[in-house]
């Protein structure tokens, strides 16, 4: 067993096998526990278009649970059977805990699921290893607990309490918490979790590079807590990582968030959604990031504020296409500041030898500044394994908190490749945290010089430059930002008519 597996928190509530049956369509072939309600999961685990790919990994949301499954499509020896292919997926459903963060770390189970799908794609009636896994990693929830497992209860998430019976022991496993999932651990002690090779944060640099300068349009839309929907035909794994990456750049460091006048909910990662999930998407309040392989969503304009059409995985030079519904004021235009900022980001990649950028960068050289910038809360909330917090999220000072890499696998083997890759992720996420921190710390004194209500604050193009924004194109963005986070009305005035 790998080191990172030994630290798993028991939070699996169900294991399942779903299959495409040529006569009945998508079906649940097997599940454990047998009495757990998984109705509809056969459509979430086998989204539209999977028949066109040989393998995939699918993340999805089934509130309040998070699901992940591994899919295989293997040809049969007899082409007359099952339309010449066996298509199945093996997956787990997990519940978030204080230790795992809002996503519940479903990726911790991927290695096991990949081994299991190899056995079950061509049918097997031996489910003992799946049952054994649940006995070690699972928890049983009674009917009362299921009613309590809402992240948005009437009395607020801070009063959420859970009681679960560990199925791997005869002893009762008690779990209760008095804080919402966006806060830190229960104690002020440091914690560390080893890096898992399947963590979606490993794909963050690829997500940023595939977006190109449009990454900053996503950053601004995410800060405004817009409903962002990615469209991509299968495989959907990359699109799921785009959802995760969007939520990362949307997160606001705790040292900043506690200084904001208005409390704004975090971006919700819905991961892959299909037609059967439309009621769930409609019921989701606030901003979210999701992805889909169903073309019909492009015509459901009331479901999203920004539609992102991802380029084909073989087209490495095309950037995503951004589409907004009619009447939206959200910008889909890449401005000059976005381009200059992206060049700085490319230089950061080049400093790690992962990019062949040789042009002259704008905005100054990459220095040790990024390595000294430590911000609180952003990794924990999304369950970012592999980092050690030296201060509690509730108690860190304005200087922030230090986060360091701790890869147990690397330290025992002596291979530094994983560490180098993880360092790239850290630097890139710190880059966005630096942008967000600078934006809010500079905007705050501009829009809150006093507490006079109903006063319109006037900003000028020079103020937008101080914010690190484009003086000609980002006026509407900063107006909405000030309203959402500070409850202040502002006007940006200047020569360009968009400011009037």
Stretch 38-53: mean pLDDT = 94
Q: Which of 383, 378, 380 is nearest to 109 (CA)?
A: 383
pLDDT at residue 384, rounded to an integer = 33
Output the average pLDDT for the chain. 76
* Rounded Cα gap, residues 333 and 343, in angstroms: 17
Q: Which of 462, 203, 500, 498 is nearest to 333 (CA)?
A: 498
Query: Is pLDDT of 423 > 80?
Result: no
pLDDT at residue 293, rounded to an integer = 95
Higher pLDDT, 225 or 348: 225
Query: Is pLDDT of 163 > 50?
Result: no
CA atoms within 13 A on the CB side of 242: 28
CA distances from 463 to 93, 363, 364, 443, 495 (A): 48, 17, 20, 9, 14
> Is residue 55 classed as helix, strand or coil in its secondary structure?
strand
Stretch 363-386: mean pLDDT = 34
Assign 183 a pLDDT band (cuts: 50, 70, 90): very low
Query: Is pLDDT of 485 > 60?
Result: yes
* Rounded Cα gap, residues 119 and 89, in angstroms: 11
Structure tokens at 346: 């490319």
pTM score of the predicted model = 0.79
Assign 354 a pLDDT band (cuts: 50, 70, 90): low
**57, containing H or E segment:** strand 55-62
Stretch 95-102: mean pLDDT = 85
> Is residue 90 classed as helix, strand or coil in its secondary structure?
strand
pLDDT at residue 122, rounded to an integer = 85
CA 299 to chain centre: 24
pLDDT at residue 97, rounded to an integer = 86
pLDDT at residue 455, rounded to an integer = 79
* Rounded Cα gap, residues 454 and 457, in angstroms: 9
* Rounded Cα gap, residues 326 and 330, in angstroms: 10
Assign 390 a pLDDT band (cuts: 50, 70, 90): very low
pLDDT at residue 285, rounded to an integer = 92
CA distances from 342 to 166, 199, 242, 345 (A): 48, 25, 18, 5
* Rounded Cα gap, residues 468 and 177, in angstroms: 39
**477, containing H or E segment:** helix 475-486
pLDDT at residue 477, rounded to an integer = 96
Structure tokens at 370: 């990024």
CA distances from 60 to 50, 272, 280, 436, 455 (A): 15, 5, 12, 28, 44
Higher pLDDT, 308 or 383: 308
Stretch 88-107: mean pLDDT = 91
CA atoms within 13 A on the CB side of 360: 0
Structure tokens at 133: 């896994």
Higher pLDDT, 314 or 355: 314
> Is residue 405 classed as helix, strand or coil in its secondary structure?
strand
Assign 85 a pLDDT band (cuts: 50, 70, 90): confident
Query: Is pLDDT of 237 > 50?
Result: yes
pLDDT at residue 348, rounded to an integer = 76
Assign 117 a pLDDT band (cuts: 50, 70, 90): very high
Please check whether residue 267 is in contact with residue 409, taking contact to mean a CB–CB distance below 8 angstroms.
no
Lowest mean pLDDT among 11-20, 300-309, 347-356, 488-497: 347-356
Q: Which of 27, 16, 120, 31 is nearest to 69 (CA)?
A: 16
CA atoms within 13 A on the CB side of 222: 29
* Rounded Cα gap, residues 349 and 352, in angstroms: 5
> Is residue 272 classed as helix, strand or coil in its secondary structure?
strand
pLDDT at residue 44, rounded to an integer = 97
Stretch 322-337: mean pLDDT = 93
> Is residue 408 classed as helix, strand or coil in its secondary structure?
helix
pLDDT at residue 100, rounded to an integer = 83
Lowest mean pLDDT among 76-90, 172-186, 403-417: 172-186
pLDDT at residue 344, rounded to an integer = 85
CA distances from 403 to 101, 190, 400 (A): 17, 10, 10
Instruction: Among 65-69, 155-159, 367-371, 461-465, name the most confident range.
Output: 65-69
pLDDT at residue 413, rounded to an integer = 36
CA atoms within 13 A on the CB side of 255: 19
pLDDT at residue 267, rounded to an integer = 93
Higher pLDDT, 408 or 58: 58
What is the DSSP pairing of strand 403-405 with strand 387-389?
Answer: antiparallel
pLDDT in tens, 120-139: 988 888 999 999 999 999 99
CB atoms within 10 A of CB 311: 15
* Rounded Cα gap, residues 147 and 152, in angstroms: 11
Higher pLDDT, 72 or 346: 72
Assign 195 a pLDDT band (cuts: 50, 70, 90): low
pLDDT more than 70, % of the chain:
69
Higher pLDDT, 418 or 50: 50
pLDDT in tens, 258-274: 999 999 999 999 999 99
CA distances from 46 to 23, 94, 291, 424 (A): 16, 18, 14, 33
* Rounded Cα gap, residues 204 and 431, in angstroms: 12
Using CB atoms within 10 A of its CB, is residue 272 exposed (0-12), middle (13-18) or buried (19+)?
buried
Q: Which of 130, 109, 97 is nearest to 57 (CA)?
A: 109
Vertex 152 angle, CA 151 and 157, to 5°: 70
Query: Is pLDDT of 370 > 50?
Result: no
Assign 9 a pLDDT band (cuts: 50, 70, 90): confident
Query: Is pLDDT of 225 > 70?
Result: yes
> Is residue 288 classed as helix, strand or coil in its secondary structure?
strand
pLDDT at residue 82, rounded to an integer = 54
Stretch 189-205: mean pLDDT = 66
CA 58 to chain centre: 13
> Is residue 93 classed as helix, strand or coil in its secondary structure?
strand
pLDDT at residue 188, rounded to an integer = 24
Give me the helix-helix angle, 417-447 and 204-211, nearest 10°: 60
Query: Is pLDDT of 226 > 60?
Result: yes
* Rounded Cα gap, residues 442 and 420, in angstroms: 33
> Is residue 346 classed as helix, strand or coil in its secondary structure?
helix
Please check whether residue 246 is in contact with residue 222, taking contact to mean a CB–CB distance below 8 angstroms.
yes
Higher pLDDT, 363 or 308: 308
């Amino acid at each position: 067993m790998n080191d990172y597996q030994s630290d798993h928190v028991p939070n699996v509530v169900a294991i399942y096998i779903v299959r495409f049956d040529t006569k009945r369509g998508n079906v649940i072939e097997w599940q454990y526990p047998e009495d757990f309600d998984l109705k509809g999961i056969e459509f979430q685990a086998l989204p539209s278009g999977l028949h066109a790919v040989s393998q995939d990994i699918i993340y999805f949301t089934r509130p309040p649970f998070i699901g992940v499954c591994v899919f295989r499509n293997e040809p049969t020896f007899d082409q007359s059977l099952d339309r010449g292919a066996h298509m199945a997926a093996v997956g787990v459903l997990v519940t978030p805990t204080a230790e795992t963060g809002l996503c519940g770390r479903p990726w911790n189970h991927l290695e096991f699921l990949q081994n299991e799908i190899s056995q079950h794609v061509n049918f097997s009636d031996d489910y003992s290893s799946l049952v054994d896994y649940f006995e070690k990693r699972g928890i049983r929830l009674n009917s009362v607990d299921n009613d309590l497992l809402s992240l948005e209860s009437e009395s607020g998430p801070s009063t959420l309490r859970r009681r679960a019976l560990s199925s791997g022991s005869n002893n009762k496993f008690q779990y209760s918490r008095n804080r919402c999932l966006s806060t830190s651990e229960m104690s002020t002690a440091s914690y560390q979790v080893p890096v898992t090779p399947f963590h979606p944060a490993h794909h963050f640099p690829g997500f940023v590079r595939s977006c190109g300068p449009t990454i900053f349009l996503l950053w601004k839309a995410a800060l405004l807590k817009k409903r962002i929907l990615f469209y991509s035909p299968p495989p959907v794994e990359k699109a799921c990582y785009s959802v995760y990456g969007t939520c990362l750049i949307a997160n606001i460091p705790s040292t900043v968030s506690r200084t904001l006048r208005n409390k704004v909910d975090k971006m919700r990662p819905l991961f892959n959604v299909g037609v059967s999930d439309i009621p769930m998407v409609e019921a989701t309040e606030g901003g979210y990031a999701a992805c889909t392989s169903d073309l019909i969503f492009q015509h459901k304009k009331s479901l999203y504020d920004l539609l992102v059409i991802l380029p084909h995985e073989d087209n490495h030079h095309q950037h995503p296409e951004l589409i907004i519904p009619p009447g939206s004021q959200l910008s889909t235009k890449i401005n000059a500041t976005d381009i200059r900022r992206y060049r700085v980001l490319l230089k950061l990649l080049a400093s790690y030898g992962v990019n062949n950028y040789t042009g002259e960068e704008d905005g100054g050289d990459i220095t040790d500044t990024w390595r000294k910038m430590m911000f609180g809360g952003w990794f924990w909330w999304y369950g970012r394994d592999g980092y050690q917090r030296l201060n509690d999220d509730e108690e860190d000072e304005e200087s922030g908190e230090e986060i360091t890499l701790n890869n147990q696998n690397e330290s025992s083997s002596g291979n530094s490749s994983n560490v180098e890759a993880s360092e790239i992720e850290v630097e890139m996420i710190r880059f966005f945290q630096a942008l967000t921190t600078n934006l809010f710390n500079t905007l705050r004194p501009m829009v809150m010089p006093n507490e006079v209500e109903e006063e319109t604050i006037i900003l000028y193009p020079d103020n937008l430059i101080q914010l690190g924004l484009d003086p000609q194109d980002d006026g509407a963005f900063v107006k909405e930002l000030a309203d959402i986070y500070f409850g202040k009305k502002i006007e940006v005035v200047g020569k360009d008519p968009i400011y009037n």
